[in-house]
Structure 1
Amino acid sequence: MAEAQEMPLFKLLAQQPAPQPVSPLPAAPPVEDVVPLHQRVPRPKAKDLPESTLNAGYTFERFIPGNVNQMVYAAARAVAENPAASYNPFFIYGGVGLGKTHLVQAIAHACTARGLRTVYVPAEAFTNDLVESIRSKTTAMFRERYRNVDVLLIDDIQFLKDKESTQEEFFHTFNVLHQFNKQIVIASDEHPSKLTHLEARLRSRFEGGLVMDVQLPELETRIAILQVWAQEAGIRLELSVAEYIAGRVQKHMREMEGVFKKMVIQAKTSRSILTVQQAADEIDGFHRPRYTLTLQQVIDVTARHHGITADDLTGPSRTSSINQARQIAMFLCRELTNTSLPQIGAAFGGRKHSTVLHACQKATQDIACDPLMAAVVIDIRSKLLSK
C-alpha cells in the first residue's frame, strides 16, 4: 500500500488507458456556397415575349396606298422609322378589310428588323393571355412581358368590349409604356370617340395621339393592286379583267383578295386564263349570304371529305394527312366565316391564334403550287356554299 502511495506521478499516468480519438466536426461550407432559400424554391418559367406571328406579306413594300391612304401610310412609316418620337399613341381605324392589320404588321416588321423588342397581338389574344396568367397565378410575369417592350401593337381593340379586367390591365400597361416613351400602336374598326363600350379614360388616351383612318382605295389603285398580285402569283391578268374585278368590289379589299385567290386556284387547276365571266361568277358566289356557315360546319364537311372524324381534325394528332386536312379547314374557316383567329383556334382544340395564322399561310402557299390540294379546297368550298 505504501509503495502504491509513493509511486511517482509519471508511472501512474503511464498506467492510464490511452484516450480514444475524437472525430473532427464537419467543416462549415464556404460563405459563397450557401444558397438563400428564396433562390432554391423553383419558380414558374416565364416566356420571353408573347407570340408575335406576323404575316410575311404584310410589309410596307406590299402596301399600295394610292391617294386616299397616302397620309396614313406616311404616318405609319414615320412611326416605324422613329418610334415614340412624334405619334404616340398611333391609332388606325377603318372598316373591315381595308388594310389596318397590314399597316400595323408592317410597322411591327420594320421595328423587329431594327432589333427593337416588338409585340404584335390581337386584343382577343391579349385577353386570353391575361386570363391564363390569372388562372396560373403569374400575373406579374404577364405584366413584365407586355411592359418590357419597345413597341406594343394591339389589333382589333374593339374586342375589349365588356372585358372590364382586361381594360383595367391594358390601361395600366398603356400608362407604363407611355411614361417610359415606348411606342404604342392600336387598330380598331371605329374612331376612338365611337368606342363607347370602352372606358372613357382609355378613349381619351387614344384620342390624345395621332388618329387616322384607312379607306377603300380608289379604282385605279385597286387595279394596280390586282396587277401586283397577278405578278406575284405568276399568272397573266388582262386589264379588262382587272378593271371588272376592281369595279365590282365596293366594300373592302379582303373581298377582292378572296375573289382573286379563287380565280388563281381555278386558273392553275384548269390551266386556263382569267376571264371576265370567271370573275363575274366568283364575285356572285362571294356575295352569297354566308351567315349560316359556322365553324363546326366547316370542320364537319372537311373531316368527311378526308374520311376522318371531326375529333381527329380538332384533336392533338399531327400525322401528315390530318395536319393537311386541319390546315385546309382552318383556311376555309377564316375565308368563309366571320370569326377571329383566336375563335378559330378555340374551335380546333384550344390552339393559339398564331398557329391558325401559320396554318392559313401554309395552306395558301400549298394551294398555289399543288393542283391536287387546290382541287380539294374547291370541292370542299363548293359543298359548304351549296348548304
Structure 2
Amino acid sequence: MTPEQLWQATLGELELSLSRANFTTWFKNTFISEVNDKRIVVAVPNAFTKSWLENKYHKSIVKAFERITDNVVHEVLYRIEARDKKNATDTSVKQGESEAVDAVTQAGVSTQSVASDQEEAAAARDNKYTFDGFIVGKGNELAHAASMAVSDSPGKKYNPLFLYGGVGLGKTHLMRAIAHKIKSTNPGAKVVYGSFEKFTNDFVQAIKEGKGKEFKLMYRTADVLLIDDIQFITGKEQTQEEFFHTFEALHQEEKQIVITSDRPPKAIGSLPDRLLSRFEWGMIADISSPDVETRIAILKSKCLEKEYEIEDNAIEYIATNIQNNIRELEGALNKIIAHHQLFNKVPTLDSIKEIVSTLSLNPSRGAITSRKLIEIVAQFYDVPIDGIVGSSRKKELVLPRQVAMYLLREEVDASYPSIGNDMGGRDHTTAMHAYQKISGSIQKDDRLKQEVASITQLLYQG
C-alpha cells in the first residue's frame, strides 16, 4: 500500500464522521509525508491546520489509521509542508465535493472564481450529477419531478424552486442536474451556481474592492441562478438586502431561481417577511430519508458506476443498517471497496457486517435534546453544566452559555422562551440577544465559527 493509498483510505474513514464543511476545511491539501516503521507524518499546509488536527482530530485520525492497518500504526505526527505540485496532484479532498469546478459557471467577482470554457465544458460532460444518475423514491419524487420541470422550462413553471432536506439526501445533486440539463440543452445560457456563503463572500469582496457593478452584472444577468444552503442567510442584513434585489431583478425577467436549504423557509430563523413570501411563491419540495427499496437501488447504481460487484444479500444488509442518508451509504460502499483493493480480499457478508458495525453514523436532527446539547457544549469548553445554566457571571462561562443558546435555536429549533427555560429560567430576551450576538460574531470570527461547527459535528456523532 502506497502512502497515497493509505491516506485516501484514512480520509474515507474520517469523511464518514465529519461534516462536508469540516472535512473540506481541515483536510484539504494534506497528505502523508513520511512513513517510518510504525510512525506516520501527515503534512499540513499551515500552523493553524496543524494545531487543529493535533488538538481536535488527532484521536480520530489515529483510530482510522489503526483500523486500516490492523493496529500497526503507533504514532502520528504533523508537519507543515507543501506538496510538490510538479510531481503530485492534490487528491486529499474529493473534487466532487468542491465548489471550484462544476457543471456551470462558478459565481464570483474576480475572474479567478469563474471556470474557464474548457473546464465548464468538461464539467458539463460529467455524468455524476445528472437526472439519469439520480435514484427516485418516495422521499424525493416530488423534488425530482419539480426539478425536471424546471430544467425543461426555466423560469416558466416553478419559480423559485425551493428544495429542502437533511444532509446527504440529494439536494445538491438535483441542483447540479438542473444546471447540467439546461447547459446541455442551451449551451449559451448563463447558469450561475454557488453556495449562499459564496454569494456573501463575493458581495463583501465587491464592497471592499469597489466592484459593486461587476457583482451585480455577474448575478443579476444570469439566466438561471442556483443557490445552495440558503439557511445561512440568517443574521446577514446587508446580504439579505442584496439577495432580495437580486431575486427581484431575476424574477421580473422570468429567469429561473433554484434554492436549497436544510429546512423549509418558515423554519429559517430571522428571515424577513418579504424574502419568506418570495421563497414561497413557486414550488417548495422536501427530500426525506430514502426508504429501504430506494437505498438498495442507490447502492446497486453506485456499484454499477464503480464497476464493482457485491452480492444482493450484502447490499440488502448495508441498506437495512444504514438509513440516514445517501452520503453514508456511499461512504460505507467506498470503505468496503477500499478494504478489498488495499488488502486484496473479496468481502464476505461477515466482513461487510463487521465494516458496517464500525461506522460512526450520525443520529437524526430530531434525536438531539436540549440536555444533550448543553452537555456537549460544556464538555467542549471544559466548563461545568451548572456553570452554563447557572447565574454565575464568570468570564469563562459567558461564551459557552451564549453558544449553547445559539445552538438550541439552530439545531433543536427551540423557541426563545423554551431556550430561556432550559438555560436556568432566563428571560426569552436573553436567549434572543445571545442568538443574535453569536450569529453576528461567527461572520467575523473564524475561530468561533469553527468552534460552533465542531460542536455541531459532535452533536451528530452519537
Q: TM-score, normalised by structure 1?
A: 0.60
How many Å separate the matches in 2 of 1:99 and 1:288?
A: 18
Q: Pairwise mapping of residues 126-165 of structure 1 onto structure 2 (< 5 A)?
A: 126-165=199-238
Change (3 A) 1:289 1:239: closer
Alpha-carbon contact 1:130-1:142 (below 8 Å) kept: yes
1:73 to 144, 159, 162: 144
Change (3 A) 1:183 1:49: farther
Q: Pairwise mapping of residues 359-378 of structure 1 onto structure 2 (< 5 A)?
A: none
> Per-residue deviation at 1:288?
6.5
> Per-residue deviation at 1:279?
2.9
Change (3 A) 1:85 1:66: same
Matching residue of 1:271: 344
> Per-residue deviation at 1:98?
0.7
Q: Pairwise mapping of residues 339-354 of structure 1 onto structure 2 (< 5 A)?
A: none
Alpha-carbon contact 1:122-1:155 (below 8 Å) kept: yes
Matching residue of 1:42: none
AA paired with 1:118?
V
How many Å separate the matches in 2 of 1:73 and 1:195?
A: 23
1:62 to 104, 123, 133: 133
Matching residue of 2:242: 169
Change (3 A) 1:288 1:209: closer
2:269 to 196, 200, 204: 196
How many Å separate the matches in 2 of 1:78 and 1:216?
A: 22
| SS of 1:236 mapped into structure 2 | coil
5+ residue gaps, structure 1: 1-44, 295-342, 348-387
Q: What CA deviation, in whole Å up to 9, does each residue of 1:142-188 have, x standing for no partner?
A: 01100111000000001122111111111100000001110000000
Q: Percent identity?
A: 42
How many Å separate the matches in 2 of 1:234 and 1:150?
A: 37
Alpha-carbon contact 2:127-2:133 (below 8 Å) kept: no
Between structure 1 and structure 2, the one with the greater Rg is 1
Alpha-carbon contact 1:93-1:187 (below 8 Å) kept: yes
> Per-residue deviation at 1:274?
2.7
> Per-residue deviation at 1:253?
1.2
How many Å separate the matches in 2 of 1:89 and 1:282?
A: 42
Change (3 A) 1:178 1:49: farther
Alpha-carbon contact 1:50-1:119 (below 8 Å) kept: no
Q: Please identify runs of 4+ aligned residues in structure 1 that moved more than 6 A.
A: 52-55, 288-292
How many Å separate the matches in 2 of 1:150 and 1:135?
A: 27
How many Å separate the matches in 2 of 1:214 and 1:257?
A: 18
Q: What CA deviation, in whole Å up to 9, does each residue of 1:191-239 have, x standing for no partner?
A: 1111123222111110111000112222112111111111221221101
How many Å separate the matches in 1 of 2:199 and 2:302?
A: 32
Alignment coverage as a number of residue pairs: 252
Alpha-carbon contact 2:165-2:261 (below 8 Å) kept: yes
Alpha-carbon contact 1:236-1:273 (below 8 Å) kept: no
2:164 to 86, 90, 93: 93
Matching residue of 2:39: none
How many Å separate the matches in 1 of 2:204 and 2:356?
A: 41
Q: What CA deviation, in whole Å up to 9, does each residue of 1:277-296 have, x standing for no partner?
A: 3333333332178999x9xx
5+ residue gaps, structure 2: 1-108, 364-375, 381-442, 448-462
Aligned CA RMSD, in angstroms, stands at 2.7
How many Å separate the matches in 2 of 1:215 and 1:177?
A: 29
> Per-residue deviation at 1:50?
4.5
How many Å separate the matches in 2 of 1:63 and 1:134?
A: 39
Q: Pairwise mapping of residues 204-215 of structure 1 onto structure 2 (< 5 A)?
A: 204-215=277-288
AA paired with 2:298?
I
AA paired with 1:163?
K
| SS of 1:235 mapped into structure 2 | coil
